Amino acid sequence: METFKLLGWFFRKYWKRYLFGCASLVLISVMMLIPPYLIGILVDQIRTGELTASTLWLFIGVMLGMGIFLYALRYGWMTLLFGGSLRLEKMLRQRFFGHMERMSPSFYHRNRSGDLMAVSTNDIPAIEATAGFGVLTLVDSLCMTILSLSMMIFAVDWKLTLAALLPMPFLAIATAYYGKLLHDRYFLAQEAFGTLNDHVQQSISGVRVLRSFVQEEKDVEAFEQVSEHTLQRNVSVAKIDALFDPTVSIIINFSFLIALGFGSFLVISSQISLGDLIAFQLYLGLLIWPMFAFGYLVNVLQRGRASLKRLYTILEEEPEVKDDGEHNLVQKVEAGSIEMRQLTFTYPNAETPALKQVSFHLDKGETLGIVGRTGSGKSTLCRLLLHQYPLGNERVYFSGLAIEQISLSALREKIAYVPQEHLLFSRTIRENVAFGKENATEEEIEKALLQAEMLKDVQQFTDGLETMIGEKGVMLSGGQKQRISIARALIANAEILILDDSLSAVDARTEEKIIQHLRKERAGKTTIITAHRLSAVVRAHHILVLEEGTVVEGGTHEELMEQNGWYADQYRRQQMEEQVIQAGGGNEG
């Protein structure tokens, strides 16, 4: 019942549909009682020789009429109830998807995508079954049972009814026991399915790495294990599943046996008529379906409950950073300065802070360069500017407004972001670039590609802009992927552009050209660049050098060179390397 309670909002919304559906079911149950009653009378009339042709015709007429009426009613409830439950499935999936879109990155660290897919493909249909088949069996079996029992008691004999029902408590005990087992095992089976899903997904997306490390066989073996595990868990569910029907059958057969034995005794001792006994057996026959249905009901409800639990656990997770309705969040921010004050930040699942006491101030239109060893916190700083994680009170300011006071959509509208792990969609190049701006024109797309130094490459593809780039851009080189990501960000022409290590896969000359375009196109707008190659930031207004999350040096290129620390050291080394490479290239040419 807890399952139905959790779905209460849905039943309330579609109460008319459910009311009419259930009413049809009740009506059908009532009508199902008529034939046994008539047959009982008919048998007694045959026995006593009272039956006339006109009574027989009337009897046949009533049965035929009922048949047609039942046909219409059954169609009615099916479309009402199952139509309703399919709507529930759609609504749940919609909610689930909307939830995915709102969640912050750490949600995806906690939940594997295979599990999330499993919820959408397996659990939501299980809940649908509860709202459709579950409601049907509940109403139908209850109704049928009550009505048949009343007829047995009032139209035939209460002692006979009582005797025939003696085996029923065993059925109740057995199904309750199976139900509990089923719930637990089904939960585990769904979990195993999630793992299986995750494995498939990872193997498919990582197939190139798998092949290059010649790990296909190992992966197939590992998959074998995972699928064996899933099989075992599903078999353990099926074993319980298989117990329901035989249990119901055996108990119903006992009922029939008792009814026949005790009923015959009652007929012989003239307490009931032969017609009564036959009608009684037919009523008992009507109880067969509700008994099975009761078994199915327990089954469907337990699955539904396990699935609802899995779904609601996910739906109840709140995004860590969210626009809550209580505060009046600023919906539009003016272009202006960016400031970070003494920000210390630790990832939700980490122990040591990724950033410590980081401060900087950037005026509108300035460029900030962030450099430092790998793992020093550059990407973290970028993510925090996007408010992907909660920051602790008022440490980051845009145009003098604390980031907490700005709505997420207003903030992210201001910022174009090229993440380090560039993500492209498995569509055409055109669509990937145009993603940055609604209704982008042909010229705008080409201009963005030109500024990202990608236009020439695209023109060389046979399909040009219409080239399909495959899942996550598998058809492109690393540098091409980066430049398409940059074009996507540039076309948005946002007030703030964040490039997180976005030039790492292009050569020095291409990098130089892209930087020149950026300087020209983005004059007056704010740009933040993180890089390993220091040439990408030499012209920045401010450069921060991070080390293990702390700012260890800061200033312009010239100031940093004078300070003669890590930056100056690194810069000279990279210059030298560059010269060596160029000299090498010259010799070859």
List of residues contacting Mg ion (CB under 5 A): 378-379, 420
For residue 177, the partner it binds in Mg ion, ligand ATP, none, with Cβ less than 5 to 8 A by kind, is: none
The burial class, CB within 10 Å (0-12 / 13-18 / 19+), for 57 is exposed
Burial bucket for residue 153 (CB in 10 Å: 0-12, 13-18, 19+): middle
As measured in angstroms, the least distance from the Cβ of 106 to ligand ATP is: 7
* Residue 77, helix vs strand vs coil: helix
Partner that binds at residue 349, options Mg ion, ligand ATP, none, CB closer than 5 to 8 Å by kind: ligand ATP
Residue 354 interacts with which of ligand ATP, Mg ion, none, CB < 5 to 8 Å by class? ligand ATP
Catalog residues that contact ligand ATP under the rule CB under 6 A. Answer: 109, 347, 349-350, 354, 372, 374-380, 420, 501
Shortest spacing between CB 352 and ligand ATP, in angstroms? 8
Nearest distance in Å: CB 562, Mg ion: 27
CA 163 to chain centre: 51
Residue 350 binding partner per list Mg ion, ligand ATP, none, with a CB distance cut-off of 5 to 8 Å that depends on partner kind: ligand ATP
380 binds, among Mg ion, ligand ATP, none (CB under 5 to 8 A by kind): ligand ATP
Q: How far is the CB of 379 from ligand ATP (least distance, A)?
A: 3
| 576: nearest Cα among 546, 540, 535 | 535
| Angle, CA of 519, 525 and 528, to the nearest 5° | 75
Let me know: does 336 contact 364? Beta carbons within 8 Å: yes
Q: Which is nearer to ligand ATP, 11 or 347 (CB)?
A: 347
- Selection from 527, 521, 422, 439 nearest residue 476 by Cα: 422
Nearest CB to Mg ion, comparing residues 337 and 346? 346
Question: Closest approach of Cβ 380 to ligand ATP, in Å?
Answer: 3
| Closer residue to ligand ATP (CB): 374 or 587 | 374
Which residue's C-beta sits nearest to Mg ion? 379
Judged by beta carbon, residue 84 or residue 372, the one nearer ligand ATP is 372
CB of 395 to ligand ATP, least distance (A): 16
Strands 396-398 and 401-402: antiparallel
CA 366/CA 31 separation, integer angstroms: 81
Q: Tell me whether residue 374 or residue 439 sits nearer to ligand ATP (CB atom).
A: 374
CB of 497 to ligand ATP, least distance (A): 17
Q: How far apart are CA 383 and CA 419, in angstroms?
A: 9
Q: Which is nearer to ligand ATP, 234 or 380 (CB)?
A: 380
Q: Beta partners for 292?
A: none
Query: Minimal distance in Å, beta carbon 320 to Mg ion?
Result: 21
Positive or negative, the Cα torsion across 428, 434, 436, 438?
A: negative
Q: Which is nearer to ligand ATP, 109 or 239 (CB)?
A: 109
Characterize the bridge pairing of strands 526-531 and 496-500: parallel
Retrieve residue 107's tokens.
């949600």
Strand partners, 355: 345
377 binds, among Mg ion, ligand ATP, none (CB under 5 to 8 A by kind): ligand ATP
CB of 375 to Mg ion, least distance (A): 8
In Å, what is the CA distance from 488 to each residue of 357, 432, 496, 512?
Answer: 33, 7, 14, 19
Q: Given the complex with Mg ion, which of 233 and 383 has the nearer CB atom?
A: 383
Q: Compute the least distance from the CB of residue 420 to Mg ion, in Å.
A: 5
CB under 5 to 8 A by kind: which of ligand ATP, Mg ion, none does 275 bind? none
Residue (354 or 503) nearer to ligand ATP, CB: 354
CB closer to ligand ATP out of 374 and 460: 374
User: Which partner in ligand ATP, Mg ion, none is near 4 (CB below 5 to 8 A by kind)?
Assistant: none
Give the distance, in angstroms, between the CA of residue 384 and the centroid of all CA atoms in the same chain.
26
Element housing 398 (H / E): strand 396-398
Q: Which is nearer to Mg ion, 283 or 345 (CB)?
A: 345
Which does residue 52 touch among Mg ion, ligand ATP, none (CB within 5 to 8 A, set by kind)? none
User: 67 is in the binding site of which of ligand ATP, Mg ion, none (Cβ under 5 to 8 A by kind)?
Assistant: none
Closest to 151 measured CA to CA, from 30, 299, 255 = 30
Distance CA 269, CA 277 (A): 13
Exposure on the CB side of residue 211, measured as CA atoms within 13 A:
5
Closest approach of ligand ATP to the CB of residue 338, in Å: 18
Query: Residue 393 binds which one of Mg ion, ligand ATP, none, with CB within 5 to 8 A depending on kind?
Result: none
Q: Which of 18, 372, 456, 426 is nearest to 205 (CA)?
A: 426
Q: What are the two backbone dihedrals, phi and then psi, of residue 73, each rounded to the nearest 5 degrees?
A: -65, -40
Backbone angles phi and psi of 257, in degrees to 5: -60, -50
